[in-house]
Structure 1
Amino acid sequence: MAALATAKRGDDREAGVRTVRAGWACAALGAALLVALVASVCLGSTSVEPGEVWSAVLRGVTGREPAPGTQDLIVWRLRVPRALLAALVGAGLGLVGTATQALVRNPLGDPYLLGVSSGASLGAVAAIVLGASAGGALGLGLSAAAFAGALLSFALVWTFARRAGDFSPLRLVLAGVGIGQFLSGFTHYLVLQAGDEQQTHGALFWMMGSLGGAQWDTLTLPAVAVLLGLAALLARSRALNAMLMGDETAASLGVDVGRLRRELFVVTSLLTGVLVAVSGAIGFVGLMVPHACRMVVGGDHRRLLPVAALFGALLLVVVDLLARTALPDQELPVGVVTALIGAPTLLYLLDRRLERS
C-alpha cells in the first residue's frame, strides 16, 4: 500500500509538472505566433515597417479611411487575411493530426499521409469542375464536397487497414498512400477536363497547398470549424486518452468505443474538408506537430490539443512566409515547403518504429 501511495504521488507530481509546462508552452507559443504574424505581414516583395502595419490594422479594425498609397491595401486586404488563414489552417491541421493519431493508435496518422486530404481534394475539385461549388461567399458548397471526399477516403483507408483485425503501421501507411494516389489520379483527370489552361494551372497550384486566395470573407468558416473542432475534441480528451491504451481497456473504463470512433471520423473529416477547401492539400503538418508537442507536454490530450493547435498555427505561418520569400519574384506552394520538412520526419519515425519492432 505504501508503494502504491508513493507511486500515485509521483504520478500526480509528474502530471502537475506537465500541466505547468503546458501553460508555459501555450504562453510562449502565443507570443511567438504574434511575432510570426507581424513578420508575415511586414515581409514580402514590398516590405512594410511594423509601425505602419499596426497603423493599417488599427484603421482597418475601426473602419477608418485607408492611408494614401498602396501599403494599407497590401497590409489589410492581402497580407493580414493570408497570415490569419495560415494560422487557422495550421491550428486545424495540428488538431486533426493529434485526433487521427489517437483514433488509429498510430504515430504515423496524418490526414495527408492517410489519403484523407486526397479525398477532400477530389471532392473540392469535382465541385469546381462540375460547377457544383455555389455556396455563397463562405464557400459552403466547396467545403461540403471536400468533407464528403474526406469522409469517403477515411472510411476506405480504415476498411483496408483493418482487414486483418488490427492496425499495423505498415498496413496503415500502405493503405493510405495507395488510396491517396488512386484518388489523386481522379483529381488530376478532373483538372485536365476543366478546359481552361489558367484554371488548370491554378487548380494544380491549389492542390499542392496555397494560401494566396485568402480574403476576409474566407476566414469565417475555417475559424468556426477550428474552434468547434477544438471544443469537440477537448470534450472527448479523457476518452482519447483511454483509446491510446486499446479498445478493450477503453471499454472497461466506460468509453463507448464505437460511438467515439464514429464521432472522431466525422469531426476529423469535416475539419479536413474545410481546411482543404480554403488552402488545398498541405501535407505533413498533422504528422509533425503532435510529435513535437508530446515531447514537451506529454500525451494527455487535455494539455496536448491546445498546444498542438498553437504550434500548428505558428508552424504554418512561418512556412507560408518562407514560401513567399524564399525565391525572388516567385512563390512556392506551401505544400512543397512542408513536404521538404515533413518527409525526413516521416523517414525518421518509420526508422524508429522498425528499430523497436
Structure 2
Amino acid sequence: MRDGTAVHTRRAAGIVAVGIPALVLSMMVVATIGPAGLTVADVAAILGEQFGIGSADVSRIGTGIVMDLRLPRILLAAICGAGLGVCGAVLQSLLRNPLADPFLLGISGGASTGAVLVIVLGLGAGTISLAAGAFLGAIIAFALVMVLATVAGGGTSRVILAGVAGTQLFSALTSFIVITSADAEQTRSVLYWLLGSLSGARWGDVVITGLVSLVGLVVCLSRAGSLDAFAFGQDSAASLGVHVRALRWLLLTVTALLTATLVAVSGVIGFVGLVLPHAARMLVGPGHRASLPVTAVLGAVLLVWVDTLARTVAEPEEIPVGVGTALVGVPVFIAILARRKVAS
C-alpha cells in the first residue's frame, strides 16, 4: 500500500512539474490568439516591461489588449478551472458520490437567482453588482440546503437530497422572475450569464478569486488524509479518529464559499468539477495528496483552452464558456465511464 502511495505521489509530482510550465506556456500562447497580431515574444516583452525588465517594442494598444483584456481573462479562467476541479474532487469523496460536482449544494441555482434579480430589478450597475448578487444568492442557497439537511437528520444522503431540492427551488425562482419581469434584452443577458462567461474579467476578480482559491486548496490539502478515510465510509473514518461531522461542515463550507466566489465572477460553468477529478484519479490514484494538485492543474489548463476556443471559434460572436465545457466534458466523461466499465 505504501509503495503504491509513493508511486502515485511521485507520479503526481511529475504531472504537476510538467503541468505548471505547460499552463504558463498555454497562457502565453492563448494571449496571442485574436485579431491584434501579437506573438509569444511580444507577450513576454510586455510582461517583462510590467516588471521593469527591458522594454516592449509593442504599441500601447497591443499592451492594453494583453494587460487589460486578455491576461485577466486567461488568469481568471485558470483560477476557475482549478477551483471548480478541486471542489468537485472534495465533494465526490466527502459525499461518496461520483456524480457530485460544485453545484450539487444548490449554489448554482442560488447564484443564478441572485444574479437575475440584479439584472431584472436594475440593482446597482456593472459586473460588481452582478457578482455581489450572485454571491449573496449562492450563500443563501447553501445555508438553506444545510438547514434542510440538518432538519432531515444530517448524513451524506440527506445533504445530496437537500441539494437537489434547493437546486430545483432556485431554478424555479429564476425562471419565474425571468418570465414575469424580464424584457427580451434582460432575458438574453440572463441566459448568457447562466451559460457562463469570462468576458467581464477584471484584475480585481483575479485577485479575489485567486486568494480565495489558494486558501481553499490549502484547507482541502490539509485535510487530505481525513478525506482518504471517507473512502471506507463514515463509520470507518470515525474509527480512524476523524471528526466526521466537523470535517463535513468545514469542507462543505469551504467548497461552498469557493464555488460561490467563482460563480459570482464567471457564471455557471459545468462539467469541470464533475469530469476532472475522475481524470486525475485515473492518473494518480484516489489519494487526495496526489489527486487534488493534479486536478487543479488539469482544470486550469483545460479551462484556459476551452475559454480561448469559446471566444474565437465563432468570431465575431462569442460562445459561452459553459457551452464549451459541456461539449468537451460530455465526450470525456463518456470515455471515462467506458474505460471504467472495461476495467471492471
Counterpart position of 2:198: 211
Counterpart position of 1:339: 326
Q: How many residue pairs align between the two structures? A: 343
CA contact (8 A) 1:122 1:187 kept: yes
CA distance in 2, matches of 1:163, 1:29: 43
Q: CA RMSD in A?
A: 3.5
84-93 or 187-196, which deviates more: 187-196
**2:7 equivalent to 1:17:** yes
CA distance in 1, matches of 2:190, 2:57: 33
Stretches of structure 2 that go unaligned for 5 or more consecutive residues are none
1:180 shift after superposition? 2.8
Partner SS, residue 244 of structure 1: helix
Counterpart position of 1:7: none
Partner SS, residue 232 of structure 2: coil
1:262 shift after superposition? 0.9
1:31 shift after superposition? 1.7
CA distance in 2, matches of 1:27, 1:138: 39
Counterpart position of 1:226: 213
Partner SS, residue 199 of structure 2: coil
CA contact (8 A) 2:196 2:266 kept: yes
Partner SS, residue 230 of structure 1: helix
With the length of structure 1 as denominator, give the TM-score of the two structures.
Answer: 0.83
Counterpart position of 2:34: 44
CA contact (8 A) 1:118 1:184 kept: yes
CA contact (8 A) 2:149 2:155 kept: no
Counterpart position of 2:231: 244
Identify if the C-alpha distance between structure 1 residues 214 and 266 changes in structure 2 by more than 3 Å, giving closer, same or farther. Answer: same
CA distance in 1, matches of 2:140, 2:266: 15
Deviation by residue 1:62-96 (Cα, 9 ceiling, x = unmatched): 49899535211111110000000000100110111
Counterpart position of 2:243: 256
Partner SS, residue 254 of structure 1: coil
**2:101 equivalent to 1:110:** yes
CA distance in 1, matches of 2:153, 2:199: 41
Paired letter, 2:301: L
1:18 shift after superposition? 1.0
CA contact (8 A) 2:145 2:162 kept: no
Paired letter, 1:89: C
1:202 shift after superposition? 2.6
Counterpart position of 2:260: 273
CA distance in 1, matches of 2:169, 2:340: 26
1:248 shift after superposition? 0.4
Partner SS, residue 74 of structure 1: helix
With the length of structure 2 as denominator, give the TM-score of the two structures.
Answer: 0.86
CA distance in 1, matches of 2:240, 2:123: 45
Stretches of structure 1 that go unaligned for 5 or more consecutive residues are 1-10
Counterpart position of 2:65: 74
CA distance in 2, matches of 1:151, 1:133: 24
Q: Percent identity?
A: 42
1:215 shift after superposition? 1.0
Deviation by residue 1:104-163 (Cα, 9 ceiling, x = unmatched): 111111123564322232234335545667999698844640441451465388579x88
Identify if the C-alpha distance between structure 1 residues 290 and 128 changes in structure 2 by more than 3 Å, giving closer, same or farther. Answer: same
Match of 2:293 among 283, 290, 306: 306
Identify if the C-alpha distance between structure 1 residues 150 and 314 changes in structure 2 by more than 3 Å, giving closer, same or farther. Answer: farther
Paired letter, 1:79: R
**2:274 equivalent to 1:287:** yes
CA contact (8 A) 2:91 2:101 kept: yes
CA contact (8 A) 2:107 2:139 kept: no
Identify if the C-alpha distance between structure 1 residues 224 and 130 changes in structure 2 by more than 3 Å, giving closer, same or farther. Answer: farther
